[in-house]
Amino acid sequence: MASEEKHHVLDLPGFDKPVKLLIVVAPYYKDIADGLVAGAKSVIKQAGATCDLVEVPGALEIPSAIRIADRRSNFDGFVALGCVIRGETTHYDTVCNDSSRGLMLLGLDGLAIGNGILTVENKHQAEQRADPAGQNKGGGAAAAALHLVALGRKWGRTGKKMGFGADSILIAENEEGPTTA
């Protein structure tokens, strides 16, 4: 059984500048979502970071909410939380595949996202994975986002591109203030 297996867990990264994450949760199964959020918030606090929380109707809306937040706000990373339990139709496969694909595409586009959308066969599996004292998949998703933020800061630029296309201006910060690069 997966809950009895031992896994290597990386130590949380340290940060010299504040980190702010956005937790995007689909509380379709409210009790499961609450456990995922509690685990994520605990890990975020342990890392010395802060977070905001937003709820969306379902797992399919999570990637869109993250894209909107990235374009219109100043979050360093994102934690995607929710639960999809297999039902009697193929809708399960669509929701699992498309929400995961959406998050992966955003990640490949450079966003720091920890994916904590559970895809399970039954409610019992979800409860085990969501429990902060158990498998703590919400905490794991938060840790993944924090690690990706740390990598982005290690290898990234200090500014975001402004505008559209390849000739966009990069606004960078130096000791004298904003400059163009």
pLDDT at 169 over 60: no
| Active-site pick, 7, 8, 91, 124 | 91
The mean pLDDT of 46-70, rounded to a whole number, is: 98
DSSP assignment string, 62-114: HHHHHHHHHHHS--SEEEEEEEEE--SSTHHHHHHHHHHHHHHHHHHTT--EE
Residue 85: CB atoms within 10 Å = 17
Q: Report the chain's mean pLDDT, rounded to a whole number.
A: 89
Comparison of pLDDT for 160 and 6, the residue scoring more: 6
Measured CA to CA, the distance from residue 78 to residue 45 in angstroms comes to 14
Give the model's confidence band at 64: pLDDT under 50 very low, under 70 low, under 90 confident, else very high.
Answer: very high
> Helix, strand, or coil here: 18?
coil
Q: What pLDDT, on the 0 to 100 scale, is given for residue 38?
A: 98
C-alpha 90, offset from chain centre: 26
pLDDT at 131 over 60: yes
Annotated catalytic residue 124: no
Tokens 């740390």 belong to which residue? 150
What six digits make up the tokens of 148? 């990706």
pLDDT 10s digits, 76-94: 999 999 999 999 989 999 9
Comparison of pLDDT for 106 and 162, the residue scoring more: 106
Domain 2-180 class, CATH top level: alpha beta
Domains of the chain, by residue range, sit at 2-180
pTM of the model: 0.85
Q: What pLDDT, on the 0 to 100 scale, is given for residue 156?
A: 76
Q: What pLDDT, on the 0 to 100 scale, is given for residue 168?
A: 47
